[in-house]
A and B are shown apart, each in its own frame.
Chain A
Protein backbone atom coordinates (compact mmCIF):
# COMPACT_ATOMS: atom_id res chain seq x y z
CA UNK A 1 0.00 0.00 0.00
CA UNK A 2 1.32 3.45 -1.01
CA UNK A 3 4.30 1.89 -2.84
CA UNK A 4 7.63 2.55 -1.20
CA UNK A 5 5.95 4.13 1.81
CA UNK A 6 4.67 0.64 2.75
CA UNK A 7 1.41 1.60 4.36
CA UNK A 8 2.63 4.83 5.93
CA UNK A 9 1.21 8.13 4.78
CA UNK A 10 2.49 11.60 5.66
CA UNK A 11 -0.03 14.10 6.99
CA UNK A 12 -0.13 17.68 8.20
CA UNK A 13 -0.97 18.06 11.87
CA UNK A 14 -4.02 20.27 12.47
CA UNK A 15 -4.76 19.64 16.17
CA UNK A 16 -3.81 17.46 19.11
CA UNK A 17 -6.52 16.96 21.69
CA UNK A 18 -8.11 14.79 24.37
CA UNK A 19 -11.86 14.25 24.39
CA UNK A 20 -13.68 12.87 27.39
CA UNK A 21 -16.90 10.89 27.13
CA UNK A 22 -18.44 11.57 30.55
CA UNK A 23 -21.19 8.97 30.17
CA UNK A 24 -18.62 6.17 29.98
CA UNK A 25 -15.80 8.01 31.74
CA UNK A 26 -13.37 7.35 28.89
CA UNK A 27 -10.69 9.58 27.50
CA UNK A 28 -9.64 9.47 23.86
CA UNK A 29 -6.36 11.00 22.71
CA UNK A 30 -6.79 12.08 19.13
CA UNK A 31 -5.08 14.09 16.42
CA UNK A 32 -6.76 16.06 13.67
CA UNK A 33 -4.71 15.69 10.50
CA UNK A 34 -4.85 16.57 6.85
CA UNK A 35 -3.71 13.52 4.91
CA UNK A 36 -1.38 13.97 1.95
CA UNK A 37 -1.59 11.65 -1.01
CA UNK A 38 1.35 9.91 -2.69
CA UNK A 39 2.04 10.75 -6.32
CA UNK A 40 2.44 7.85 -8.73
CA UNK A 41 1.03 5.41 -6.13
CA UNK A 42 4.05 6.04 -3.90
CA UNK A 43 6.59 4.68 -6.37
CA UNK A 44 10.00 6.38 -6.06
CA UNK A 45 10.91 8.63 -8.97
CA UNK A 46 13.19 7.12 -11.62
CA UNK A 47 15.23 10.31 -11.59
CA UNK A 48 15.90 10.94 -7.91
CA UNK A 49 14.45 7.85 -6.22
CA UNK A 50 12.33 9.84 -3.77
CA UNK A 51 8.58 9.59 -3.25
CA UNK A 52 6.49 12.69 -3.84
CA UNK A 53 3.37 13.52 -1.84
CA UNK A 54 0.89 16.29 -2.44
CA UNK A 55 -2.19 18.00 -1.07
CA UNK A 56 -5.29 16.87 -2.84
CA UNK A 57 -8.23 19.17 -3.22
CA UNK A 58 -10.71 16.33 -3.10
CA UNK A 59 -9.19 14.93 0.12
CA UNK A 60 -10.85 15.67 3.46
CA UNK A 61 -9.11 18.59 5.10
CA UNK A 62 -9.72 17.23 8.58
CA UNK A 63 -9.46 13.58 9.53
CA UNK A 64 -9.31 12.21 13.07
CA UNK A 65 -6.82 9.54 14.02
CA UNK A 66 -5.75 8.00 17.32
CA UNK A 67 -2.37 9.42 18.38
CA UNK A 68 -1.09 5.86 18.78
CA UNK A 69 -1.26 5.48 15.00
CA UNK A 70 1.24 8.33 14.50
CA UNK A 71 4.58 6.62 13.90
CA UNK A 72 6.89 9.62 13.99
CA UNK A 73 7.87 12.74 12.10
CA UNK A 74 8.53 12.74 8.37
CA UNK A 75 10.99 15.07 6.67
CA UNK A 76 9.21 16.62 3.72
CA UNK A 77 11.15 18.91 1.38
CA UNK A 78 8.84 21.47 -0.23
CA UNK A 79 8.86 21.09 -3.97
CA UNK A 80 6.55 23.95 -4.85
CA UNK A 81 3.12 23.54 -6.50
CA UNK A 82 1.72 21.97 -3.30
CA UNK A 83 4.05 18.96 -3.44
CA UNK A 84 6.74 17.62 -1.13
CA UNK A 85 9.54 15.09 -1.53
CA UNK A 86 9.67 12.51 1.25
CA UNK A 87 13.32 12.66 2.33
CA UNK A 88 14.16 9.02 2.87
CA UNK A 89 17.84 9.80 3.57
CA UNK A 90 17.13 11.85 6.69
CA UNK A 91 18.02 9.01 9.07
CA UNK A 92 19.03 5.37 8.93
CA UNK A 93 15.62 4.06 10.01
CA UNK A 94 13.80 5.93 7.25
CA UNK A 95 16.47 4.94 4.72
CA UNK A 96 16.07 1.29 5.69
CA UNK A 97 12.28 1.35 5.54
CA UNK A 98 11.49 3.53 2.52
CA UNK A 99 13.09 2.50 -0.74
Chain B
Protein backbone atom coordinates (compact mmCIF):
# COMPACT_ATOMS: atom_id res chain seq x y z
CA UNK B 1 0.00 0.00 0.00
CA UNK B 2 1.33 3.47 -0.91
CA UNK B 3 0.23 6.03 1.57
CA UNK B 4 1.54 9.50 2.15
CA UNK B 5 0.34 11.48 5.14
CA UNK B 6 1.76 14.96 5.49
CA UNK B 7 0.03 16.27 8.58
CA UNK B 8 -2.14 15.24 11.47
CA UNK B 9 -4.14 17.97 13.15
CA UNK B 10 -4.63 16.72 16.67
CA UNK B 11 -4.25 17.80 20.27
CA UNK B 12 -1.38 16.49 22.38
CA UNK B 13 -3.17 13.50 23.87
CA UNK B 14 -4.33 12.42 20.41
CA UNK B 15 -0.73 12.71 19.22
CA UNK B 16 0.36 10.63 22.20
CA UNK B 17 -2.04 7.88 21.11
CA UNK B 18 -1.07 8.10 17.44
CA UNK B 19 2.69 8.12 17.97
CA UNK B 20 2.68 5.60 20.82
CA UNK B 21 4.59 7.88 23.18
CA UNK B 22 4.26 8.77 26.83
CA UNK B 23 2.19 11.84 27.64
CA UNK B 24 5.16 13.81 28.97
CA UNK B 25 7.39 13.55 25.90
CA UNK B 26 7.53 15.51 22.66
CA UNK B 27 6.33 13.74 19.49
CA UNK B 28 8.82 15.73 17.39
CA UNK B 29 12.14 15.55 19.24
CA UNK B 30 14.02 13.54 21.83
CA UNK B 31 13.89 16.11 24.61
CA UNK B 32 14.12 14.52 28.04
CA UNK B 33 11.23 15.10 30.47
CA UNK B 34 13.55 17.03 32.79
CA UNK B 35 14.35 19.57 30.07
CA UNK B 36 10.84 20.33 28.83
CA UNK B 37 10.64 23.65 30.64
CA UNK B 38 14.03 24.99 29.55
CA UNK B 39 14.77 27.14 26.54
CA UNK B 40 17.16 24.53 25.09
CA UNK B 41 15.57 23.63 21.77
CA UNK B 42 18.32 21.87 19.86
CA UNK B 43 17.27 18.30 20.56
CA UNK B 44 17.63 15.52 18.03
CA UNK B 45 14.48 14.95 15.96
CA UNK B 46 12.72 11.68 16.59
CA UNK B 47 13.75 9.01 14.11
CA UNK B 48 11.20 6.22 14.23
CA UNK B 49 13.05 4.32 11.46
CA UNK B 50 16.13 4.19 13.68
CA UNK B 51 14.03 2.95 16.59
CA UNK B 52 12.60 0.19 14.40
CA UNK B 53 16.08 -0.76 13.28
CA UNK B 54 17.27 -0.90 16.90
CA UNK B 55 14.31 -3.03 17.84
CA UNK B 56 14.92 -5.49 15.00
CA UNK B 57 18.68 -5.71 15.41
CA UNK B 58 18.97 -5.92 19.14
CA UNK B 59 15.96 -6.70 21.25
CA UNK B 60 18.23 -6.37 24.23
CA UNK B 61 17.81 -4.65 27.58
CA UNK B 62 19.80 -1.68 26.20
CA UNK B 63 17.27 -0.90 23.47
CA UNK B 64 14.40 -1.36 25.91
CA UNK B 65 16.09 1.10 28.28
CA UNK B 66 16.55 3.54 25.40
CA UNK B 67 12.87 3.26 24.45
CA UNK B 68 11.92 3.74 28.07
CA UNK B 69 14.10 6.88 28.34
CA UNK B 70 12.71 8.31 25.12
CA UNK B 71 9.17 7.44 26.19
CA UNK B 72 8.19 5.41 23.14
CA UNK B 73 6.31 2.23 22.47
CA UNK B 74 6.77 1.24 18.83
CA UNK B 75 3.94 -1.28 18.91
CA UNK B 76 1.45 1.45 19.70
CA UNK B 77 2.64 3.79 16.92
CA UNK B 78 -0.03 3.75 14.20
CA UNK B 79 2.48 4.97 11.61
CA UNK B 80 4.74 1.99 12.33
CA UNK B 81 5.77 0.40 9.01
CA UNK B 82 4.57 3.25 6.77
CA UNK B 83 7.89 4.07 5.14
CA UNK B 84 6.67 7.07 3.14
CA UNK B 85 5.39 8.78 6.28
CA UNK B 86 7.65 10.95 8.43
CA UNK B 87 6.03 10.49 11.83
CA UNK B 88 7.79 13.40 13.64
CA UNK B 89 6.88 15.75 10.76
CA UNK B 90 3.19 14.98 11.14
CA UNK B 91 2.87 16.87 14.39
CA UNK B 92 1.76 20.46 13.84
CA UNK B 93 1.76 23.32 16.35
CA UNK B 94 -1.67 23.98 17.72
CA UNK B 95 -2.55 27.43 19.03
CA UNK B 96 -5.79 26.29 20.66
CA UNK B 97 -4.45 23.47 22.82
CA UNK B 98 -0.84 24.58 23.28
CA UNK B 99 -1.30 28.29 23.90
CA UNK B 100 -4.92 29.11 24.77
CA UNK B 101 -5.93 25.99 26.67
CA UNK B 102 -2.33 25.15 27.65
CA UNK B 103 0.00 27.95 28.56
CA UNK B 104 -2.66 30.64 29.09
CA UNK B 105 -4.59 28.36 31.40
CA UNK B 106 -1.45 27.75 33.48
CA UNK B 107 -0.63 31.45 33.37
CA UNK B 108 -4.07 32.33 34.75
CA UNK B 109 -3.41 30.08 37.76
CA UNK B 110 0.05 31.52 38.34
CA UNK B 111 -1.22 35.09 38.06
CA UNK B 112 -4.06 34.35 40.50
CA UNK B 113 -1.52 33.10 43.05
CA UNK B 114 0.74 36.07 42.42
CA UNK B 115 -2.07 38.60 42.79
CA UNK B 116 -3.31 36.91 45.94
CA UNK B 117 0.16 36.99 47.46
CA UNK B 118 0.47 40.73 46.77
CA UNK B 119 -3.17 41.56 47.65
CA UNK B 120 -3.96 42.81 44.13
CA UNK B 121 -6.72 40.35 43.21
CA UNK B 122 -9.51 42.87 43.83
CA UNK B 123 -7.80 45.52 41.68
CA UNK B 124 -7.46 42.96 38.88
CA UNK B 125 -11.14 42.01 39.18
CA UNK B 126 -12.26 45.65 39.09
CA UNK B 127 -10.21 46.40 35.96
CA UNK B 128 -11.40 43.16 34.35
CA UNK B 129 -15.03 44.11 34.85
CA UNK B 130 -14.50 47.64 33.53
CA UNK B 131 -13.03 46.56 30.16
CA UNK B 132 -14.58 48.51 27.30
CA UNK B 133 -15.94 46.84 24.13
CA UNK B 134 -13.95 46.46 20.92
CA UNK B 135 -14.79 44.79 17.59
CA UNK B 136 -14.30 41.03 17.92
CA UNK B 137 -13.59 41.27 21.65
CA UNK B 138 -16.09 39.73 24.04
CA UNK B 139 -16.46 41.99 27.03
CA UNK B 140 -16.29 39.81 30.17
CA UNK B 141 -19.64 39.67 31.94
CA UNK B 142 -18.32 38.12 35.13
CA UNK B 143 -15.50 39.14 37.42
CA UNK B 144 -12.26 37.26 36.80
CA UNK B 145 -12.65 35.20 39.99
CA UNK B 146 -16.23 34.25 39.18
CA UNK B 147 -15.33 32.46 35.93
CA UNK B 148 -15.30 28.76 36.76
CA UNK B 149 -14.49 27.32 33.35
CA UNK B 150 -12.22 28.91 30.78
CA UNK B 151 -12.82 27.83 27.20
CA UNK B 152 -10.67 28.41 24.10
CA UNK B 153 -12.60 31.49 23.02
CA UNK B 154 -12.34 33.05 26.47
CA UNK B 155 -8.63 32.26 26.65
CA UNK B 156 -8.05 33.92 23.29
CA UNK B 157 -9.96 36.91 24.60
CA UNK B 158 -7.86 36.89 27.75
CA UNK B 159 -4.66 37.04 25.70
CA UNK B 160 -5.89 40.26 24.11
CA UNK B 161 -6.33 42.17 27.35
CA UNK B 162 -4.29 40.35 29.99
CA UNK B 163 -1.20 42.56 29.83
CA UNK B 164 -3.21 45.79 30.14
CA UNK B 165 -5.40 44.53 32.98
CA UNK B 166 -2.40 43.18 34.88
CA UNK B 167 -0.51 46.45 34.34
CA UNK B 168 -3.38 48.38 35.90
CA UNK B 169 -3.74 45.91 38.79
CA UNK B 170 -0.01 46.14 39.59
CA UNK B 171 0.12 49.94 39.60
CA UNK B 172 1.94 51.89 42.30
CA UNK B 173 3.97 49.09 43.88
CA UNK B 174 5.76 49.65 47.17
CA UNK B 175 9.55 49.41 47.31
CA UNK B 176 9.55 45.61 47.88
CA UNK B 177 7.13 44.97 45.06
CA UNK B 178 8.84 46.90 42.26
CA UNK B 179 11.12 44.09 41.06
CA UNK B 180 8.63 41.17 41.31
CA UNK B 181 5.92 43.23 39.59
CA UNK B 182 8.26 44.17 36.77
CA UNK B 183 9.33 40.54 36.32
CA UNK B 184 5.72 39.31 36.33
CA UNK B 185 4.73 41.89 33.70
CA UNK B 186 7.81 41.04 31.62
CA UNK B 187 6.94 37.35 31.69
CA UNK B 188 3.28 37.89 30.77
CA UNK B 189 4.25 40.36 28.07
CA UNK B 190 6.69 37.88 26.51
CA UNK B 191 4.07 35.12 26.28
CA UNK B 192 1.34 37.47 25.03
CA UNK B 193 3.68 38.89 22.37
CA UNK B 194 4.74 35.40 21.34
CA UNK B 195 1.08 34.46 20.95
CA UNK B 196 0.38 37.59 18.88
CA UNK B 197 3.29 36.83 16.56
CA UNK B 198 2.24 33.20 16.26
CA UNK B 199 -1.09 34.37 14.81
CA UNK B 200 0.54 36.18 11.86
CA UNK B 201 -0.50 34.75 8.49
CA UNK B 202 2.76 35.55 6.80
CA UNK B 203 6.22 35.84 8.27
CA UNK B 204 9.63 37.26 7.53
CA UNK B 205 12.96 36.25 9.13
CA UNK B 206 12.50 39.28 11.42
CA UNK B 207 9.10 38.15 12.73
CA UNK B 208 10.47 34.65 13.35
CA UNK B 209 13.45 36.18 15.18
CA UNK B 210 11.01 38.24 17.29
CA UNK B 211 9.09 35.07 18.18
CA UNK B 212 12.28 33.36 19.31
CA UNK B 213 13.27 36.42 21.31
CA UNK B 214 9.88 36.55 23.07
CA UNK B 215 10.08 32.85 23.88
CA UNK B 216 13.60 33.20 25.31
CA UNK B 217 12.42 36.11 27.45
CA UNK B 218 9.44 34.10 28.68
CA UNK B 219 11.75 31.26 29.74
CA UNK B 220 14.11 33.73 31.44
CA UNK B 221 11.40 35.57 33.35
CA UNK B 222 9.00 32.77 34.30
CA UNK B 223 10.92 32.02 37.54
CA UNK B 224 8.78 34.71 39.15
CA UNK B 225 5.83 32.31 38.97
CA UNK B 226 7.76 29.21 40.08
CA UNK B 227 6.36 29.27 43.59
CA UNK B 228 2.85 28.97 42.11
CA UNK B 229 3.79 25.76 40.27
CA UNK B 230 3.91 23.81 43.52
CA UNK B 231 2.58 20.27 43.19
CA UNK B 232 0.66 18.42 45.91
CA UNK B 233 3.70 16.22 46.51
CA UNK B 234 5.93 19.26 47.07
CA UNK B 235 3.35 20.83 49.35
CA UNK B 236 3.27 17.63 51.41
CA UNK B 237 7.08 17.65 51.59
CA UNK B 238 7.07 21.27 52.76
CA UNK B 239 4.51 20.43 55.46
CA UNK B 240 6.55 17.45 56.60
CA UNK B 241 9.73 19.54 56.74
CA UNK B 242 7.95 22.22 58.79
CA UNK B 243 6.54 19.68 61.22
CA UNK B 244 9.97 18.13 61.78
CA UNK B 245 11.53 21.53 62.29
CA UNK B 246 8.88 22.55 64.81
CA UNK B 247 9.23 19.27 66.63
CA UNK B 248 13.01 19.72 66.93
CA UNK B 249 12.54 23.28 68.14
CA UNK B 250 9.92 22.32 70.68
CA UNK B 251 12.40 19.88 72.18
CA UNK B 252 15.21 22.44 72.31
CA UNK B 253 12.89 25.22 73.61
CA UNK B 254 12.07 23.15 76.66
CA UNK B 255 15.49 24.08 78.00
CA UNK B 256 15.21 27.80 77.04
CA UNK B 257 13.91 30.47 79.39
CA UNK B 258 10.42 31.79 78.40
CA UNK B 259 11.77 35.35 77.91
CA UNK B 260 14.20 34.16 75.23
CA UNK B 261 11.54 32.07 73.49
CA UNK B 262 9.64 35.10 72.24
CA UNK B 263 12.80 36.60 70.73
CA UNK B 264 13.55 33.37 68.95
CA UNK B 265 10.02 33.05 67.58
CA UNK B 266 10.55 35.68 64.88
CA UNK B 267 13.88 34.15 63.83
CA UNK B 268 12.24 30.78 63.59
CA UNK B 269 9.43 32.11 61.43
CA UNK B 270 11.92 33.71 59.02
CA UNK B 271 13.94 30.53 58.90
CA UNK B 272 10.79 28.49 58.19
CA UNK B 273 9.83 30.78 55.32
CA UNK B 274 13.31 30.60 53.84
CA UNK B 275 13.37 26.82 53.99
CA UNK B 276 9.89 26.66 52.52
CA UNK B 277 10.85 28.86 49.57
CA UNK B 278 14.09 26.90 49.05
CA UNK B 279 12.24 23.63 48.90
CA UNK B 280 9.56 25.01 46.58
CA UNK B 281 12.18 26.34 44.21
CA UNK B 282 14.11 23.07 44.27
CA UNK B 283 11.12 20.83 43.81
CA UNK B 284 8.99 22.95 41.43
CA UNK B 285 9.66 23.22 37.72
CA UNK B 286 8.10 24.13 34.40
CA UNK B 287 8.84 20.76 32.82
CA UNK B 288 5.57 20.03 31.10
CA UNK B 289 5.18 19.26 27.45
CA UNK B 290 3.17 22.30 26.35
CA UNK B 291 5.98 24.51 27.60
CA UNK B 292 8.34 22.70 25.25
CA UNK B 293 6.03 22.57 22.21
CA UNK B 294 6.33 26.36 21.85
CA UNK B 295 9.98 25.89 20.86
CA UNK B 296 8.89 24.11 17.64
CA UNK B 297 6.72 27.00 16.43
CA UNK B 298 9.45 28.99 14.71
CA UNK B 299 10.96 25.91 12.97
CA UNK B 300 7.50 24.98 11.79
CA UNK B 301 6.92 28.40 10.22
CA UNK B 302 10.19 28.10 8.31
CA UNK B 303 9.22 24.67 6.99
CA UNK B 304 5.45 24.72 6.53
CA UNK B 305 4.15 28.30 6.75
CA UNK B 306 1.88 30.05 9.19
CA UNK B 307 0.58 28.43 12.36
CA UNK B 308 -3.14 29.37 12.43
CA UNK B 309 -3.87 27.22 9.38
CA UNK B 310 -2.95 24.09 11.36
CA UNK B 311 -4.82 25.02 14.52
CA UNK B 312 -7.36 22.49 15.78
CA UNK B 313 -9.64 25.46 16.41
CA UNK B 314 -11.18 25.16 12.93
CA UNK B 315 -11.87 21.45 13.37
CA UNK B 316 -13.45 22.03 16.76
CA UNK B 317 -15.62 24.82 15.39
CA UNK B 318 -16.74 22.47 12.60
CA UNK B 319 -18.17 20.13 15.28
CA UNK B 320 -21.09 22.49 15.56
CA UNK B 321 -22.05 22.35 11.91
CA UNK B 322 -21.04 18.77 11.23
CA UNK B 323 -22.22 17.05 14.40
CA UNK B 324 -24.23 19.19 16.81
CA UNK B 325 -26.58 20.74 14.23
CA UNK B 326 -27.20 17.33 12.67
CA UNK B 327 -27.90 15.87 16.11
CA UNK B 328 -30.42 18.62 16.84
CA UNK B 329 -32.19 18.08 13.54
CA UNK B 330 -32.45 14.31 14.05
CA UNK B 331 -35.40 12.58 15.71
CA UNK B 332 -32.90 11.12 18.23
CA UNK B 333 -33.35 7.55 16.98
CA UNK B 334 -30.21 6.02 15.49
CA UNK B 335 -28.75 9.49 15.80
CA UNK B 336 -25.24 8.75 14.46
CA UNK B 337 -26.56 7.52 11.12
CA UNK B 338 -28.84 10.56 10.79
CA UNK B 339 -25.97 12.96 11.58
CA UNK B 340 -23.80 11.37 8.88
CA UNK B 341 -26.63 11.41 6.33
CA UNK B 342 -27.59 14.99 7.14
CA UNK B 343 -24.08 16.38 6.75
CA UNK B 344 -23.41 14.19 3.68
CA UNK B 345 -26.50 15.56 1.96
CA UNK B 346 -25.63 19.17 2.76
CA UNK B 347 -22.08 18.65 1.54
CA UNK B 348 -23.30 17.04 -1.71
CA UNK B 349 -25.73 19.89 -2.38
CA UNK B 350 -23.02 22.47 -1.80
CA UNK B 351 -20.66 20.65 -4.16
CA UNK B 352 -23.44 20.45 -6.77
CA UNK B 353 -24.07 24.21 -6.49
CA UNK B 354 -20.37 24.97 -6.86
CA UNK B 355 -20.17 22.76 -9.94
CA UNK B 356 -23.22 24.44 -11.48
CA UNK B 357 -21.73 27.84 -10.72
CA UNK B 358 -18.50 26.84 -12.38
CA UNK B 359 -20.40 25.61 -15.46
CA UNK B 360 -22.34 28.86 -15.57
CA UNK B 361 -19.12 30.90 -15.57
CA UNK B 362 -17.87 28.84 -18.53
CA UNK B 363 -21.04 29.67 -20.46
CA UNK B 364 -22.91 26.37 -20.11
CA UNK B 365 -26.57 26.40 -21.07
CA UNK B 366 -28.48 26.10 -17.80
CA UNK B 367 -32.22 26.30 -17.25
CA UNK B 368 -33.82 29.52 -15.95
CA UNK B 369 -34.95 27.80 -12.74
CA UNK B 370 -31.36 26.67 -12.05
CA UNK B 371 -29.99 30.15 -12.76
CA UNK B 372 -32.62 31.70 -10.51
CA UNK B 373 -31.74 29.30 -7.72
CA UNK B 374 -28.01 29.94 -8.15
CA UNK B 375 -28.62 33.70 -7.92
CA UNK B 376 -30.50 33.18 -4.69
CA UNK B 377 -28.04 30.81 -3.02
CA UNK B 378 -24.59 31.62 -4.36
CA UNK B 379 -23.40 35.01 -5.41
CA UNK B 380 -20.58 35.00 -7.91
CA UNK B 381 -20.14 38.75 -7.60
CA UNK B 382 -17.99 39.51 -4.58
CA UNK B 383 -19.22 42.35 -2.45
CA UNK B 384 -17.33 45.57 -3.19
CA UNK B 385 -14.79 46.52 -0.59
CA UNK B 386 -16.21 49.19 1.68
CA UNK B 387 -14.21 52.38 1.39
CA UNK B 388 -16.06 55.27 2.97
CA UNK B 389 -17.29 55.83 6.46
CA UNK B 390 -21.05 55.60 6.99
CA UNK B 391 -23.03 57.65 9.47
CA UNK B 392 -26.16 56.05 10.88
CA UNK B 393 -28.84 56.54 13.51
CA UNK B 394 -30.25 60.01 12.87
CA UNK B 395 -31.69 61.81 15.87
CA UNK B 396 -34.79 63.95 15.38
CA UNK B 397 -34.22 66.48 18.15
CA UNK B 398 -31.65 68.58 16.26
CA UNK B 399 -32.28 70.68 13.15
CA UNK B 400 -29.65 73.46 13.28
CA UNK B 401 -26.47 74.55 15.07
CA UNK B 402 -28.52 76.24 17.80
CA UNK B 403 -30.33 72.98 18.67
CA UNK B 404 -27.03 71.14 18.39
CA UNK B 405 -25.41 73.29 21.07
CA UNK B 406 -28.43 72.85 23.38
CA UNK B 407 -28.46 69.05 23.03
CA UNK B 408 -24.71 68.74 23.65
CA UNK B 409 -24.74 71.25 26.50
CA UNK B 410 -21.88 73.20 24.91
CA UNK B 411 -22.18 76.96 24.48
CA UNK B 412 -23.17 78.24 21.04
CA UNK B 413 -20.12 80.54 20.97
CA UNK B 414 -17.82 77.59 21.56
CA UNK B 415 -19.38 75.56 18.75
CA UNK B 416 -19.32 78.50 16.34
CA UNK B 417 -15.65 79.12 17.17
CA UNK B 418 -14.80 75.49 16.53
CA UNK B 419 -16.73 75.47 13.24
CA UNK B 420 -14.84 78.57 12.09
CA UNK B 421 -11.51 77.08 13.21
CA UNK B 422 -12.27 73.82 11.41
CA UNK B 423 -13.34 75.69 8.27
CA UNK B 424 -10.21 77.86 8.18
CA UNK B 425 -7.80 74.96 8.78
CA UNK B 426 -9.36 72.32 6.57
CA UNK B 427 -11.36 73.88 3.74
CA UNK B 428 -10.22 75.83 0.68
CA UNK B 429 -11.09 79.55 0.83
CA UNK B 430 -13.96 79.34 -1.65
CA UNK B 431 -15.59 76.40 0.19
CA UNK B 432 -15.42 77.77 3.74
CA UNK B 433 -18.41 77.99 6.05
CA UNK B 434 -19.90 81.43 6.71
CA UNK B 435 -18.31 83.10 9.71
CA UNK B 436 -21.13 85.42 10.82
CA UNK B 437 -22.64 83.89 13.99
CA UNK B 438 -26.18 84.81 12.95
CA UNK B 439 -25.88 82.74 9.75
CA UNK B 440 -23.75 80.01 11.26
CA UNK B 441 -26.18 79.20 14.06
CA UNK B 442 -28.97 78.60 11.55
CA UNK B 443 -27.06 76.14 9.34
CA UNK B 444 -28.95 72.82 9.14
CA UNK B 445 -27.43 70.03 11.26
CA UNK B 446 -28.24 66.32 11.48
CA UNK B 447 -27.10 64.63 14.67
CA UNK B 448 -26.24 60.92 14.32
CA UNK B 449 -25.38 58.18 16.76
CA UNK B 450 -23.20 55.72 14.86
CA UNK B 451 -20.20 55.81 12.57
CA UNK B 452 -19.13 52.72 10.65
CA UNK B 453 -15.44 52.72 9.83
CA UNK B 454 -14.07 50.03 7.50
CA UNK B 455 -10.62 48.97 8.73
CA UNK B 456 -8.52 46.76 6.48
CA UNK B 457 -7.88 43.46 8.27
CA UNK B 458 -4.28 42.71 9.14
CA UNK B 459 -2.26 41.06 6.34
CA UNK B 460 -5.31 41.09 4.06
CA UNK B 461 -5.94 43.07 0.89
CA UNK B 462 -9.71 42.92 0.54
CA UNK B 463 -11.10 41.94 3.94
CA UNK B 464 -12.40 44.74 6.11
CA UNK B 465 -13.36 44.78 9.76
CA UNK B 466 -16.14 47.22 10.51
CA UNK B 467 -15.53 49.36 13.58
CA UNK B 468 -18.75 50.89 14.88
CA UNK B 469 -18.11 54.04 16.87
CA UNK B 470 -21.19 54.97 18.89
CA UNK B 471 -22.14 58.26 20.43
CA UNK B 472 -25.63 58.31 21.90
CA UNK B 473 -25.08 61.35 24.11
CA UNK B 474 -27.37 61.12 27.10
CA UNK B 475 -29.73 58.72 25.29
CA UNK B 476 -29.81 55.07 26.31
CA UNK B 477 -28.41 52.43 23.93
CA UNK B 478 -30.63 49.34 23.51
CA UNK B 479 -32.28 49.99 26.85
CA UNK B 480 -28.88 49.97 28.54
CA UNK B 481 -26.70 52.90 29.58
CA UNK B 482 -25.66 55.54 27.05
CA UNK B 483 -22.72 54.57 24.85
CA UNK B 484 -20.08 57.12 23.93
CA UNK B 485 -16.83 55.75 22.49
Contact = CB atoms under 8 A, between A and B. Distances in A.
A70 B389 contact: yes
Contact of B453 (A20, A70, A91): A70
Contacts of B185: 47-48
Given A47-B181, A50-B167, A64-B419, A16 B127 contact: no
A70 to B, nearest CB: 6
A17 B445 CA distance: 7
Contacts of B421: 64
Interface string B467-485: 1111101000000000011
B344 interface: no
B242 interface: no
A13 interface: yes
B134 A13 contact: no
Interface string B176-190: 000001100100010
Interface stretch (A1-9, A35-43, A74-82): A74-82
Candidate in B160, B164, B185, B467 with the most chain A CB atoms within 10 angstroms: B164
Interface string A11-44: 0111111111111101011111000000000000
B385 interface: no
Given A62-B414, A66-B426, A71-B453, A93 B389 contact: no
B458 A62 contact: no
Contact of A77 (B131, B391, B434): B131
A17 B446 contact: yes
A91 B160 contact: yes
A18 B459 CA distance: 33
B426 to A, nearest CB: 6
Interface residues of A, number: 52
B218 to A, nearest CB: 14
Nearest to A77: B164
A75 B137 contact: yes
Contacts of B455: 71-72, 93
Contacts of A20: 443-445
Contacts of B470: 13
Contacts of A93: 455-458
Given A19-B443, A67-B451, A32 B168 contact: no
A73 B485 CA distance: 8
Candidate in A20, A23, A45, A64 with the most chain B CB atoms within 10 angstroms: A64
A22 B444 contact: yes
Given A66-B426, A67-B389, A71-B453, A77 B127 contact: yes
Given A62-B414, A78-B127, A89-B161, A18 B445 contact: yes
B62 to A, nearest CB: 50
A22 to B, nearest CB: 7
Contacts of A12: 484-485
A28 B420 CA distance: 13
B431 interface: yes
B471 A18 contact: no
Contact of B458 (A60, A79, A92): A92
A76 B419 contact: no
B447 interface: yes
Nearest to B185: A48
B90 interface: no
Contacts of A70: 389, 451, 453, 469
B199 interface: yes
Candidate in A15, A32, A89 with the most chain B CB atoms within 10 angstroms: A15
Contacts of B453: 70-73
Contacts of A75: 132, 134, 137, 161, 164
B135 interface: yes
Contacts of A87: 160-161, 163-164
B443 A21 contact: yes
Given A14-B471, A90-B160, A77 B459 contact: no
Nearest to A78: B130
A8 B144 CA distance: 31
A16 B448 contact: yes
Given A21-B443, A77-B127, A89 B473 contact: no
A21 to B, nearest CB: 6
A93 B459 CA distance: 8
Contact of A26 (B389, B415, B419, B431): B431
Contacts of B467: 72-73
B384 interface: no
A48 B167 contact: yes
B319 interface: no
A18 B173 CA distance: 48
Nearest to B199: A92
B404 interface: yes
B422 interface: yes
B484 A68 contact: no
B258 interface: no
A90 B134 contact: yes
Given A50-B163, A70-B389, A16 B471 contact: yes
Contacts of A62: 408, 410, 414-415, 418
Q: What 6 pairs between A and B have smallest CB-CB spacing?
A: A48-B167, A92-B458, A64-B422, A77-B164, A93-B458, A87-B164
6 contacts: A12-B485, A16-B471, A78-B168, A85-B164, A93-B455, A95-B196
